[in-house]
Amino acid sequence: MTAYRFLKGHGTENDFVLLPDHDGTVHGDLDPARVARLCDRRAGIGGDGVIRVVRSAVLLGRDAVTPEQAGASEWFMDYRNADGSVSEMCGNGVRVLAHHLVTEGLASLDEPLPIGTRAGVRTVVADQDGYAVDMGPARLLGPSRVGVDDASGVGAREWPATGVDMGNPHAVALVDDLAEAGDLLVQPSYDTGLYPAGVNVEFVVRRGEGHVAMRVHERGSGETRSCGTGACAVLVAVALADGAADPGAERPSPSEPVQYRIDVPGGVLKASWEPGGGTTLSGPATIVASGTTDL
């Protein structure tokens, strides 16, 4: 295979291989096997996923990308999990993509920057933490249970979980200690009837008022150091537990703004939930390397 360009970036250590393919002439439809090889941390470049950087117009009518998903955006985040499966959205990834576009002069943050995703258009602006992303409203998926096997041999453990759709599905469980989730080397058990396409599972502990910490197992990627859509799902689930909105509404909305600091293994994210239901995620993004590969 002819060598092609790549970049490596991360947002709170949720890391990605970016493939510049602006006019869709380099990669075509990304083969899952190639995505998995690129994300391999021993034989590849290493990452939690692959982001193809492509103009929205290239994908319209292809790859099941709709006008609603692309909107008026010039750029589209064509995202794959580490196992090559397609994912709707990645809150950390969209910040890294925006950072790449801005630093290479392909876009400007003089005004809000719309980026198309399979979960719809996400708008990025600069803020004091790096970048803030309009993550859209949350949709509740209902209660369920998640579980893990106890590596000590004591047996399986289960917790009630709140289902939150942030463009991709999440099951959020409040626990007493993040270590209770075990090593997260395998997908936690979940309700396959509620989540037929799989689910990201977040384990959450309270650290103080407006302050929580989380670990996450992402479908198709395993445990990651951070998850942006997961942080917003955690914000909504914990705020609902605190009585900030009606948990019986499919699209709940708080009566006043709610803000949380969310500690992840890779750093700190900030998330807010506004009356009307919109959520915003703030955090850093960086590009750490670039080069060429023939993987």
Buried b (16+ CB within 10 A) or exposed e, 3-42: eeebbbbbbbebbbbbbbbeebeebeebebebbbebbeee
β-bridge pairing 169-174 and 156-165: antiparallel
| HSE-CB of 242 using CA atoms within 13 angstroms | 18
Which residue is catalytic, options 38, 227, 238, 281?
Answer: 227
| Number of Cβ within a 10 Å radius of residue 121 | 18
| Number of Cβ within a 10 Å radius of residue 252 | 20
Q: Is 227 a catalytic residue?
A: yes
d(CA 283, CA 295): 31
DSSP state of 112: -
Q: Which two tokens stand for residue 181?
A: 């989730």
Which residue is catalytic, options 30, 39, 58, 90?
Answer: 90
| HSE-CB of 24 using CA atoms within 13 angstroms | 14
Q: Which two tokens stand for residue 31?
A: 């083969």
Strand (E) positions, 64-221? 75-81, 113-116, 122-127, 130-137, 139-149, 156-165, 169-174, 200-208, 211-218
Catalytic residue numbers, as ranges? 90, 227
